[in-house]
Structure 1
């Protein structure tokens, strides 16, 4: 029976450590299999409780991160408790010679992994002394990497909201964004903005690969919501590339670079986090652009352009809907 306890504890520890290292250190690996289920389960649960309540959805990210950390700690604690139940004389009570109970084994495992020292009990024999040292080192590693992981996620959340602000601050719709770039002669005013935006989106995509929990950080304000902002940006890029006359278009290289960043973002979150929508979002309208005197192509020509982007825009709509937003129109 004691051997069975040891094997159970070892398997729990291996699964926990692999999931922990997968999530915190493997940059392109996303979340570990256990962590992924915790995060997705939290999001689904909060959606079931209040999908139309932004305040409830707003706690999804912090709650998912907290539950993931608690899950790691709990599994680590359980694993080491079973390890130290792997023998009848594993521990010695320094106060008396009474038999060691399960509660006392859990207590011993707990103050080892939380690096509180060990005074009430001592390991019996060289093997269990080594296991005690390993448990303490294991706890220190988890605490250090766990704190680093939390700080990295919070920094990524800040960047995500700053990115969204930089786009929605220019316009809440694609045609409004294009109008901002119009200087009366051409659209080259947007060149620097596209360069900066591509860089930020590339960094955000890399962080989504490293920290999938980032997608579940919902904000009540759509101005700070990255999926909404990316939808605005993508339609604006389509207008800039194929919706306006060639002589007024901005730097094509910068437009294509920004489009590549959007595609990279979509390939990261679809289908690993969300699924494409079943419908196509509405196309941008040209009425306000024409009113501003911006030379645009015919509606028929632009409709053909949008038709070719059907699958791409379904993916984008899926991302927007997964964040409980409406398409920017």
Structure 2
């Protein structure tokens, strides 16, 4: 049973966290990374490269995201738990994180981006979350594709970026995934996180 994995524990009792605690933890962890996708990416930049602490935090999120996704499948009622604050709501945090991974994988130049072994598992875990929540949640008509995260903040922070046309093409290839995230947010009563 995923609840007993011990990947997230209560700090006071050392007991495995409940499924709602894990969902809140995943949302809160993404919240601590940044307010929006560009904020997540620029906070990880040291001026020379992405810090090892940033990379480790992304790697550690993968397990929490997979656990959260599986718990949505095991406990469909989980979809009805909502945070009062948009910034900490799991669907909002996951959309923000996915947009940050889009920026890292498609807007940041190859020479500066973290290795794919950091980014790809996070994106795969988010994909799993989208799959399981779509199986357990009822959402309305798909909203339009949300606006793409802007690269200007990355460039202003001195992060080397890809060519604009390369980035636009990558965002276009992610259109369906981004619509699914938008639909999930919309179904939970939240608007798309802006950059």
Using the size of structure 1 for normalisation, the TM-score is 0.52
1:157 aligns with 2:20: yes
1:316 aligns with 2:192: no
Asked whether the 8 Å contact 2:73–2:136 carries over to 1, the reply is: no
- Aligned counterparts, 1:273-288, within 5 A: 273-275=137-139, 277-288=142-153
Asked whether the 8 Å contact 2:79–2:136 carries over to 1, the reply is: no
Per the alignment, residue 177 of structure 1 pairs with 40
Tell me the secondary structure at the aligned position of residue 111 of structure 2.
helix
Per the alignment, residue 85 of structure 2 pairs with 221
Per the alignment, residue 245 of structure 1 pairs with 109
Runs of 4+ off more than 6 Å: none
Q: Which has the higher contact order (CA 8 A, sep 6+)?
A: 2
Q: 5+ unaligned residues in a row in structure 2: which ranges?
A: 3-15
Per the alignment, residue 65 of structure 2 pairs with 201
Shift, 1:271, TM fit: 4.4
1:290 aligns with 2:144: no
Tell me the secondary structure at the aligned position of residue 246 of structure 1.
coil
Asked whether the 8 Å contact 2:65–2:129 carries over to 1, the reply is: yes
Q: Counting helix residues as a fraction of each chain, which structure ranks higher?
A: 1
Asked whether the 8 Å contact 2:72–2:136 carries over to 1, the reply is: no
Shift, 1:223, TM fit: 2.4
Per the alignment, residue 269 of structure 1 pairs with 133
Change (3 A) 1:191 1:281: same
Tell me the secondary structure at the aligned position of residue 248 of structure 1.
coil
- Separation (CA, whole Å) in 1 of partners of 2:32 and 2:138: 26
Deviation string 1:190-242 (CA, Å, 9 cap, x unpaired) is 21011111010011111111111111111211122000000010011111111
Asked whether the 8 Å contact 1:201–1:262 carries over to 2, the reply is: yes
Deviation string 1:61-101 (CA, Å, 9 cap, x unpaired) is xxxxxxxxxxxxxxxxxxxxxxxxxxxxxxxxxxxxxxxxx
Per the alignment, residue 299 of structure 1 pairs with 164
Change (3 A) 1:206 1:271: closer
Asked whether the 8 Å contact 1:274–1:319 carries over to 2, the reply is: no
- Separation (CA, whole Å) in 1 of partners of 2:67 and 2:111: 32
Change (3 A) 1:274 1:317: farther
Tell me the secondary structure at the aligned position of residue 169 of structure 1.
helix
Larger radius of gyration: 1
1:168 aligns with 2:31: yes
CA RMSD in angstroms, aligned pairs only: 1.8
- Separation (CA, whole Å) in 1 of partners of 2:155 and 2:24: 32
Change (3 A) 1:315 1:281: same
